[in-house]
């Protein structure tokens, strides 16, 4: 694209954007002749992907801003008008929520005004709300579509736009591609009405505490051992941080309603899109829990918890000796599977055919534990929309099991089927119940985890992420995945590769026999999995929301002598695997 073509696109954006702040950003770049920055903002349009939009906030077609959000909403409205399910009264309805990020409220309102201009009655939350509440409310109101403005746990310069379909789940095929195509046809033709006109015609309706009450009531039906919480809830001290996001009002309310004392980190309680006290508002990062851990030590807490800005991910730490131990997403999933399925079984509430659903990059230890309690275990691609689709199939197709729980390694958990996305609020309640139960049994959470390892073997996972920003980065990512397909490694971390599953091509290649067979149990996706001879699984996939490739490695060892011996054996194995993966990445980056 030539310099003049880039400048022409920039001038066109200035004409279309109605927000003066974003217009002025681009005008300043044009006046200064900052061609490098103009190129980055205009060499492409911010892609409306299979889940929606996510990008850096700023003026330009390759940024998150009011016009880009309006254009996406126009395409979504057009698609919903032709293919969406109507409410019982024959209307098209939408629900929109937003988190605490910069311009989230602006983007949410602009989305609502475009949908309203297209005749869609839109219910807009009056302030920041968790993503799982959006999913729940879409179902409650029989809405056609839902939108949540969030970039989850990304740095503060990002924001995003996620789309949900009727039923409360994020969009999947065929709607994902259909909406993408529709958004691509919009061009400059966006319909929008004023907030006042939308309110007068009842095309914009604000949601308030009544919607909150419905969501909270659903969560408070989740405990398995209500009597335990009623009798001993005050015995457990919880320190919690929402990391400047949307979780505080709900985690505090739910835990206090069941009698649990919760102490919220005061410096991080209020919503703040700058996330001033953390480098990344991500409960997967140890640094994000620093203030909560400090408070937990002072308060002698039994449990430390953190939710991300849109409150769909949960991270925890628990006492271990003289200090706290961070629990990984895989480990918390194991603990919740163990507690939930065992408790339902002990109390006689386990369904006849209970189902547990996990993603293909989540630890296999969860499978072993769930099957031990009689559950059927299902694998899906990464992303809760795939777990939600399985729930839909369980409910609508004959002779299917009953969904009990689903999770993914990236700190996402879903208990029950009322929500169709990961829900950190309900997970926080179950985690508190689980911790209280083990304390009442005379053991710590860490001790219970060690018992599980003793029974099933020691499992540990590592994730290697490498970012590739910009136009050149996208080409490097593509080249790396292509190299892994064209010349797959025969050894990873000095361990022989037994077979390779290519989810994009729906094949499994056996390296020993040289044969390839079809695989039809997963939708096509740009994912490669390498199954090693010792049972280790290494997976590679480009992120769907960020310019990075992620490698996941899960290794295990039986506990033959001591648990520490098994742990050290697995750690050494993972260190060799990580080095091998880094070498593969460097070979492409330097090529």
- Residues designated as active site: 152
Neighbouring residues of 389: CB distance < 8 A, sequence distance ≥ 6: 169, 172, 380
Which phi and psi (to 5°) does residue 529 adopt? -130, 130
Q: What are the C-alpha distances in Å from 579 to residues 37, 228, 583, 584, 585?
A: 35, 47, 6, 9, 10
Q: In whole angstroms, what is the distance from residue 591 CA to residue 585 CA? A: 10
Q: In whole angstroms, what is the distance from residue 131 CA to residue 374 CA? A: 31
The residues with which 482 forms a beta bridge, in sequence order, are none
Q: Are strands 121-125 and 93-98 parallel, antiparallel or unpaired?
A: parallel
Helix (H) or strand (E) run with residue 30 in it: helix 20-32
Which phi and psi (to 5°) does residue 558 adopt? -70, 150
Alpha helices in 258-396 (DSSP H): 290-299, 329-346, 365-372, 384-396
- Using an 8 Å Cβ cutoff, are 66 and 57 in contact? no
- Using an 8 Å Cβ cutoff, are 161 and 111 in contact? yes
Q: In whole angstroms, what is the distance from residue 328 CA to residue 322 CA? A: 19
Q: What are the C-alpha distances in Å from 342 to residues 331, 432, 548, 558?
A: 16, 16, 38, 23
Handedness of CA 199, 204, 206, 211 (dihedral sign): positive
CA atoms within 13 Å, Cβ hemisphere of 371: 9
Q: In a 3-state reduction of DSSP, which class is residue 544?
A: coil
Q: In whole angstroms, what is the distance from residue 19 CA to residue 26 CA? A: 12
């Amino acid at each position: 694209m030539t310099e003049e073509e880039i400048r022409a696109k920039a001038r066109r954006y200035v004409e279309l954007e109605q927000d003066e702040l974003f217009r002025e950003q681009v005008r300043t770049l044009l006046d200064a002749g900052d061609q490098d920055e103009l190129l980055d903002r205009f060499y492409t349009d911010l892609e409306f992907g299979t889940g929606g939009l996510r990008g850096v906030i700023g003026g330009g077609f390759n940024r998150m801003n009011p016009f880009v959000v309006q254009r996406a909403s126009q395409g979504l409205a057009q698609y919903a008008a032709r293919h969406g399910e109507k409410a019982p009264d024959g209307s098209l309805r939408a629900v929109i929520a937003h988190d605490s990020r910069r311009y989230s409220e602006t983007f949410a309102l602009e989305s609502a005004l475009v949908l309203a201009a297209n005749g869609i009655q839109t219910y807009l939350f009056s302030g920041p709300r968790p993503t799982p509440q959006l999913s729940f409310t879409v179902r409650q109101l029989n809405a056609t579509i839902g939108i949540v403005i969030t970039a989850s746990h990304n740095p503060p310069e990002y924001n995003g736009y996620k789309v949900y379909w009727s039923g409360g789940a994020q969009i999947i095929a065929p709607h994902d591609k259909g909406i993408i195509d529709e958004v691509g046809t919009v061009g400059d033709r966006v319909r929008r009405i004023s907030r006042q006109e939308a309110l007068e015609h009842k095309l914009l309706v604000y949601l308030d505490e009544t919607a909150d009450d419905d969501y909270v009531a659903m969560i408070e039906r989740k405990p398995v051992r209500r009597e335990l919480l009623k009798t001993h809830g005050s015995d457990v001290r919880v320190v919690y941080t929402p990391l400047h996001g949307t979780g505080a009002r709900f985690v505090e309310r739910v835990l206090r309603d069941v009698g649990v004392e919760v102490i919220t980190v005061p410096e991080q309680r209020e919503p703040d899109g700058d996330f001033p006290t953390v480098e990344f508002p991500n409960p997967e990062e140890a640094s994000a829990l620093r203030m909560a851990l400090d408070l937990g030590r002072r308060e002698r807490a039994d449990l430390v918890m953190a939710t991300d800005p849109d409150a769909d991910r949960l991270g925890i730490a628990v006492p271990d000796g003289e200090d706290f131990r961070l629990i990984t997403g895989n480990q918390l999933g194991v603990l919740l599977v163990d507690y939930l399925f065992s408790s339902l079984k002990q109390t006689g509430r386990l369904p006849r055919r209970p189902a547990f659903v996990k993603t293909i990059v989540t630890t296999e230890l969860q499978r072993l534990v769930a099957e031990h309690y009689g559950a059927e275990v299902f694998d899906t691609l990464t992303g809760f929309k795939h777990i939600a689709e399985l729930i839909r199939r369980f409910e609508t197709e004959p002779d299917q099991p009953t969904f009990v729980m689903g999770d993914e390694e990236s700190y996402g958990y879903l208990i029950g089927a009322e929500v169709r996305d990961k829900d950190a609020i309900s997970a926080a309640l179950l985690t508190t119940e689980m911790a209280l139960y083990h304390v009442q049994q005379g053991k710590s959470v860490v001790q219970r985890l060690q018992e599980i390892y003793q029974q099933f073997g020691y499992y540990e996972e590592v994730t290697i992420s490498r970012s590739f920003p910009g136009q050149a980065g996208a080409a490097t990512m593509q080249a790396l995945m292509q190299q892994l397909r064209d010349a797959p490694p025969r050894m990873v971390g000095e361990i022989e590769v037994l077979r390779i599953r290519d989810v994009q091509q729906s094949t499994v290649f056996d390296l020993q026999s040289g044969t390839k067979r079809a695989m039809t149990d997963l939708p096509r996706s740009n994912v490669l999995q390498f199954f090693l001879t010792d049972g280790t699984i290494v997976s590679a996939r480009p992120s769907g929301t960020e310019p990075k490739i992620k490698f996941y490695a899960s290794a295990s060892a039986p506990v033959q002598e001591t648990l520490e011996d098994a742990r050290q054996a697995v750690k050494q194995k993972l260190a060799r695997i990580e080095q091998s993966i880094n070498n593969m990445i460097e070979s492409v980056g330097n090529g």
